Amino acid sequence: MGSAVIIGASGGIGGALADAIEEEGNHERVWRFSRKDGLDLTEEASIATAAEKVAQGPAPSLVIVATGILHDGERGPEKALKELDADWLARVYAINAIGPALVAKHFVPLFPKTGTPTFAALSARVGSIGDNALGGWHGYRASKAALNMMLRNIAIEARRKYERTIVVGLHPGTVDTGLSKPFQGNVAPGSLFAPDRAAMQLLDVLEGLKPHDSGKVFAWDGSEVPF
């Protein structure tokens, strides 16, 4: 059974994922980490400390990074090049791409050498280069594209150590959380998911994955998101 680890458990999707996993009862323990609990994705030492706690056992068979930043206060996604700001770009990359990669650095080595241990991180369809026909949202798009490449690299390396390890990105759709709140007016009817529904959809996707799916990105409905 092993343990399950949710990074970003104080958020809407992360909290719903942790609740759903606990309710399913398929893991011996569910670890909940967030910035409120001392794990800051921009501070590698805090990630390492969390991994040390989990390493005490049981071994994690599922790690999900349910974090991300799109806007903060008056700062939102850029609509044009003139809005680019180096400090904001660095922060978006730090949370959306670098942080999840560092989580993988410290947690993937804890995976058992049996079963199909899984590492997943919340990505986004707007991070797909092939699917980008609108432009804009420069930092968010680029940071999620960078995350997708990191996940592909991590998948390749993890496969060399244990070929049944699964590493994937997950696009949850538009979920009724603080991240999407300013943009929900543009969402089609029926396409705004409550966090608990989004969590169950993502867990259903993970349950259906096989080792040959590792290194890819999947949407909430199970469809593959192109790079």
- Residues 202-220 pLDDT 10s: 999 999 999 999 999 999 9
The dihedral region occupied by 190, where left means phi > 0, alpha psi between -120 and 50, and beta the remainder, is left
Round to whole Å and give the CA distance between 77 and 75.
7
Residue 188 has pLDDT above 80, yes or no: no
As a whole number, mean pLDDT of residues 139-160 equals: 98
Question: Between 3.40.50.2300, 3.40.50.920, 3.40.50.720, 2.60.40.1290, what CATH number should domain 3-225 receive?
Answer: 3.40.50.720
- Sign of the dihedral defined by the CA atoms of residues 185, 190, 193, 196, in that order: positive
Give the up-direction half-sphere exposure of residue 18: CA atoms within 13 A in the CB hemisphere. 18
Q: Using one digit for the tens of pLDDT, what is the confidence trace for 60-117?
A: 999 999 999 999 988 989 999 999 999 999 999 999 999 999 999 999 999 999 999 9
Q: Report the chain's mean pLDDT, rounded to a whole number.
A: 95
In the chain, the amino acid numbered 23 is: E
Q: Count CA within 13 A, CB hemisphere, residue 177.
A: 25
Structure tokens at 107: 């947690």
Where do the H-state alpha helices sit in the chain?
12-24, 44-54, 86-93, 99-107, 138-161, 195-207
Distance CA 112, CA 166 (A): 12
- Rounded Cα gap, residues 85 and 211, in angstroms: 39
Residue 55's SS3 state is coil
In this structure, are strands 217-219 and 224-225 parallel, antiparallel, or unpaired?
antiparallel
Confidence of residue 190 (pLDDT cuts 50, 70, 90): confident
- The pTM assigned to this predicted structure is 0.95
> What is the arithmetic mean of pLDDT over 192-208?
96
